[in-house]
Amino acid sequence: MIEATGLRKSFRVGRGRGATTVEAVRGVDFAVRRGEIVGFLGPNGAGKSTTLRMLATLIQPSGGEATIAGVDLLRSPAQVRRRIGFVAQASGTYDDSTARRDLVLQARMHGRSKSVAQDLAVAAIRAFQLDDFADRKIKTYSGGQRRRLDVALGVIHSPQVMFLDEPTAGLDPPSRVRMWQEVRRLREEGMTIFLTTHYLDEADSLCDRVSIIDGGRIVAEGTPSDLKREISGDVVTVEFAATDLADGSGDDLPAASKLLAEAPYVHAAEPVDGALRLYVDSAATAIPQIMRALYDRGIEPGAIETRRPSLDDVFLAKTGRSLEE
């Protein structure tokens, strides 16, 4: 349904001599099949919104090409617009308008007649459960209500392909779960969904496939379980108590990191937020060895935690940084 090859975007910022170019997206390739939910997972500034805005015909790619629902993005953007829906990262609603008014306007901008637009608005209000506030000014809505309206606006014309830019950013956990249900419902109605997120659990539980993007490039791609399987074994996180710098012993973390990275039972060691993340085959056999090694060096570990690999571990393995702040 969506196929992109070598999609690039660079922005010129500033004027005259002080002008510089920002490489927002440096050539991404991906394909989304009919009926799939595919996510772009990446940190702030990774180029997620820029990619989505190119696909939604809002900005012109600097290079590469894409086909959406069988239509060439560069050659027939107008045809693409008939087939897609788009929900921007920041919602685009009138503060003083109401959900119903904006829904009717949206359907009419898609060429529907007034009476059809009104029926579509009624249906959307029911489907997205906007009844309680549909005729109130939008500026009085809560974040979750507003986001549901944004999605309702984006799908009012039943597009084949739906682009959602961070549909759950800033929502509380119950609202996020509710939004996931809405997204799954849209897929059941036959839409193909391409979304961006910087939440690991969202990518994990909502998306059939995930592309991990960083610095304008896709660094990994696959189903969440395949991606995690690449990181075989377990993840052991060792915390270190704050060290007493007065006696000159310094920080334990670098020493422990160096020591354990060389240990044969550790695949990789990555310091994250004052703790050490260790990738091992089996936590059960590795933990005693880790403890012994640390005690031999006179290092006193704090809490030790073990878990299955997450998408964050995938991100860390590919980029050397953690997604979680």
Contact segment (CB under 6 A) with ligand ATP among 45-53, 64-72, 129-137, 258-266 equals: 45-53
SS3 percent helix, strand, coil of the chain, rounded to 5, is: 40, 30, 30
Does residue 48 touch ligand ATP according to CB under 6 A? Answer: yes
Q: Which of 71, 110, 160, 265 binds another protein (CB under 8 A)?
A: 110
User: Secondary structure of 138-160 in the HEC alphabet?
Assistant: HHHCCHHHHHHHHHHHHCCCCCC
Cα separations (Å) of 230 from 31, 47, 152, 157, 210?
21, 24, 37, 40, 14
Nearest to Mg ion of 26, 112 (CB atom)? 26
**Rg, the chain, Cα only:** 24
Residue 49 CB, shortest distance to ligand ATP, in Å, is: 3
Nearest to ligand ATP of 102, 312 (CB atom)? 312
Residue 308 CB, shortest distance to another protein, in Å, is: 39
Query: For residue 5, what is the DSSP state?
Result: E
Does residue 24 touch ligand ATP according to CB under 6 A? Answer: yes
- Binding track, positions 252-291, relative to ligand ATP; x by CB under 6 A: ----------------------------------------
Measured in degrees and rounded to the nearest 5, phi and psi for residue 220 equal: -160, 155
Q: Is 294 in contact with 239 (CB distance < 8 Å)?
A: no
Whose tokens are 């009476």? That residue is: 115
Token output for 183: 């997204």
Interacting positions 72-101 with another protein (CB under 8 A): 78, 81-82, 84-86, 88, 90-97, 101
The residue ranges that bind ligand ATP (CB under 6 A) are: 11, 13, 22, 24, 42, 44-50, 89, 198
